[in-house]
């Protein structure tokens, strides 16, 4: 892997993405809009809810939503036979895929910053120290890798970018309804245990409450690290295999 080449590709992809109005709305404006909306609805502690309760789920939702953009982008690349054409250039398919992964990591970081800043006026005050914030940041980044992997898997099994959009919601909706900002009931808790987003949300909630020794933190880090490694490995392998046919 050529690191300079990867960085150049990351810069190019980010600049290209920012020039697209639809991307700007979905990836940057929408997280702020969603946070503000939740702030007005749940920002009153007298209602029994607060932004401190909702924020972990919003951070996780931002990571989940990246599945859709990754699936669409890689579906278009596959249809254009881009990886096959890369074989005739000094650039390798590994360089390209890694640059795309890094690009999406940067987007996730931007979304997290936007959500964090947007949530503060509505009472989001994480009761943790610098170590807790670093742990939360690392956990979110690791979890976002699993979303990139699911996006690659979606692109592999989709016949077009339009199909990828629909299939991606099969991964997005269950994790959203059973593991983010929507309260888990006794009836849905058993199903939620199979959702990676559930463990991340629980771990973030514990971290933001200042309880760094809570078992959810270690469980979340361990499980999400394993799941993300497996999913991203499978996603890259399948996408490269089908794209080079």
Q: Residue 37, Cβ neighbours under 10 Å: how many?
A: 11
What are 211-217's contacts with CB under 8 Å, separation 24+? 212/128, 212/131, 212/132, 212/135, 217/135
Q: Give the lowest-confidence range in 4-8, 143-147, 181-185, 224-228.
A: 181-185
Q: Write out pLDDT tens, residues 100-145.
A: 788 888 888 888 999 999 999 888 889 889 999 999 999 999 999 9
Q: Write out pLDDT tens, residues 53-101.
A: 888 988 998 889 888 888 887 787 777 776 666 666 666 667 777 887 8
Q: Write out pLDDT tens, residues 185-226.
A: 777 778 888 888 999 999 999 999 989 999 999 999 999 999
Radius of gyration of the chain (CA): 18
What pLDDT score was predicted for residue 46?
Answer: 65
Position 13 confidence tier, pLDDT thresholds 50, 70, 90: confident
40: burial class by Cβ within 10 Å (0-12, 13-18, 19+)?
exposed
Domain count, the chain: 1
Range of the domain at 197: 3-42+49-243
Q: What's the rounded Cα separation, in Å, for the pair 169 and 165? A: 7
Length of the chain: 245
Residue recorded with tokens 């199909």: 163
């Amino acid at each position: 892997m050529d690191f300079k080449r990867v960085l150049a590709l990351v810069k190019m992809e980010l600049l290209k993405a920012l020039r697209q109005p639809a991307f700007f709305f979905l990836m940057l404006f929408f997280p702020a809009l969603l946070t503000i909306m939740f702030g007005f609805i749940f920002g009153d502690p007298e209602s029994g809810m607060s932004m401190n309760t909702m924020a972990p789920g919003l951070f996780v939702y931002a990571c989940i939503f990246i599945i859709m953009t990754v699936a669409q982008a890689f579906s278009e690349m596959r249809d254009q036979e881009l990886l096959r054409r890369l074989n005739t250039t000094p650039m390798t398919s590994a360089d390209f895929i890694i640059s795309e992964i890094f690009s999406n990591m940067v987007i996730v970081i931007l979304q997290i910053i936007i959500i964090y800043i947007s949530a503060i006026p509505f009472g989001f005050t994480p009761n943790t120290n610098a170590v807790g914030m670093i742990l939360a940041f690392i956990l979110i980044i690791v979890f976002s890798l699993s979303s990139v992997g699911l996006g690659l898997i979606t692109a592999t099994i989709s016949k077009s970018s339009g199909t990828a959009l629909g299939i991606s919601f099969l991964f997005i909706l269950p994790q959203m309804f059973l593991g983010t900002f929507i309260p888990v009931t006794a009836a849905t808790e058993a199903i939620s245990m199979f959702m990676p987003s559930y463990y991340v949300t629980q771990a973030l909630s514990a971290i933001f409450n200042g309880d760094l020794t809570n078992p959810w933190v270690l469980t979340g880090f361990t499980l999400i690290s394993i799941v993300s490694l497996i999913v991203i490995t499978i996603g890259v392998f399948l996408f490269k295999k089908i794209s080079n046919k």
